Copies of this chain bind each other. A is one copy, B any other.
Amino acid sequence: MTTSLEQSTPAVLDDPEVAVLAVARRAREASRALATATRATKDAALRALADALVAATDRVLAANAQDLERGRANGMSPGLLDRLALTPERVAAIADALRELAALPDPVGEVVRGSTLPNGLRLRQVRVPMGVVGMIYEARPNVTVDAAGLALKSGNAVVLRGGSAAASSNEVVVEVLADALVAQGLPGDLVQSVDAWGRPGAVALMHARGLVDVLVPRGGADLIATVVREATVPVIETGVGNCHLYVDASADQADALAILLNSKTQRVGVCNALETLLVHRDAADAFLPSALAALGAAGVTVHGDDVTLRHAPRDAATVPATDVDWATEYLSLDLAVRVVDGLDAAIEHVRRWSTGHTEAIVTQDLRAAERFVAEVDAAAVIVNASTRFTDGGQFGLGAEIGISTQKLHARGPMGLAELTTTKWVVHGDGHVRP
């Protein structure tokens, strides 16, 4: 079995840093072939990758079975095993996501700004690929394909570092993708993995400034914190979401209840799910009993302050809230609930505990809505709708790389455009500066 992966990682296994820098350098070289490729070329490649992946289903599943076996032997939790597991249906779904990418517009070449200057210089700012995108993620083989597809569509090479738990699956997937690229006349080095060099390889990737243009960590808070601390390559931080919903005194009660339940329970393990409910004291009597009953019926455990707990039905699952609850992104059927004195107290609570992801208000008071929008500092501020709408697909941005909670480069849902940069192109006729 001589594959593009093995061909491209020959004798340097002993020094992870040298090896990973060589990988990044080859990625950089390969990225040049793609930077000026037409959309037609890229879309054809994406479809070919999808076909190749489906055709290799048996090989991929065999490798995945090894990962699962190792995971079970290491006592991996059923939840993680499920995220790691591939089936023919899941492979087909992953391939379909590549075909959907092919159907999206190409961000590259878009003219962002342009003008003719008073001196006659013609100026335009054009969207171009970053070059090499690094992706560090955990035990989900679908992210391998997803990341490769997003990078290719936006004209970039990608260097992947998946979790060791999915190492066998990822190795085969990267081989299949790289071989399919070569079959399309594109460099196989456009999709490479540094998993072979373990944790030192990941660190080398974080330090490959100048060769890797941006690093996107996808995973838990620990992974993201490590990358932010270690990396000299610019990082786009994706999202911890400690999201709040504030129910104002003037809120429409039916709207508030529907938005509360949807925000908390429509899907619990995601970053735009609700984690804390704040209720105006004047709305507490009318709203809390029915809200707490409905949350209980939906299986939600309420971590409430004193006032909240006084409104809870006798049979409700409740625990007293502490500061830990205000700070926690549960990602489970748990909700912190607090009664506040009003809009100022709600904004103050959000400022103290928000992770800057999504903050929502339910109100019929225009001034309250406008103050909340102006004074709350978050990637998304939502009036009278569910927190679950903060999402690239919901916002109509097409494929989503993640949801950025940092302020540089990208904030909120990131689409393909966020994997590009710009270039100023200036045309003159012998212009010199006076």
Contacts and interface: CB of A to CB of B under 8 A. Distances in A.
15 contacts: A35-B374, A35-B375, A115-B396, A229-B232, A234-B406, A262-B433, A266-B432, A380-B425, A381-B424, A383-B428, A385-B428, A385-B429, A386-B428, A388-B433, A389-B433
Interface in A233-257: 234-236, 252, 254-255
Nearest to A236: B408
Contact of A258 (B409, B413, B421, B432): B432
**Number of copies of this chain that the complex holds:** 2
Given A378-B423, A390-B426, 12 more contacts: A36-B375, A117-B395, A123-B395, A252-B430, A377-B423, A379-B424, A383-B425, A383-B428, A385-B432, A389-B431, A394-B433, A411-B424
Contact of A373 (B234, B394, B425): B425
B381 A430 contact: no
A25 interface: no
Nearest to A430: B255
Interface of A is mostly: mixed
Interface of A: 32, 35-36, 115, 117, 121, 123, 125, 128, 130-131, 209, 213-214, 228-229, 232, 234-236, 252, 254-255, 258-259, 261-262, 266, 369, 373-375, 377-386, 388-390, 394-396, 406-409, 411-413, 421-433
B426 A385 contact: yes
Contacts of A261: 432
Contacts of A395: 117, 123, 424
Given A396-B117, A409-B408, A381 B426 contact: yes
B407 A421 contact: yes
A190 to B, nearest CB: 16
Contact of A427 (B128, B385, B428): B385
Contact of A380 (B115, B252, B407, B423): B423
B381 A423 contact: yes
A374 B36 contact: yes
Contact of A429 (B236, B384, B422, B433): B384
Nearest to A214: B408
Contact of A425 (B125, B381, B411, B433): B381
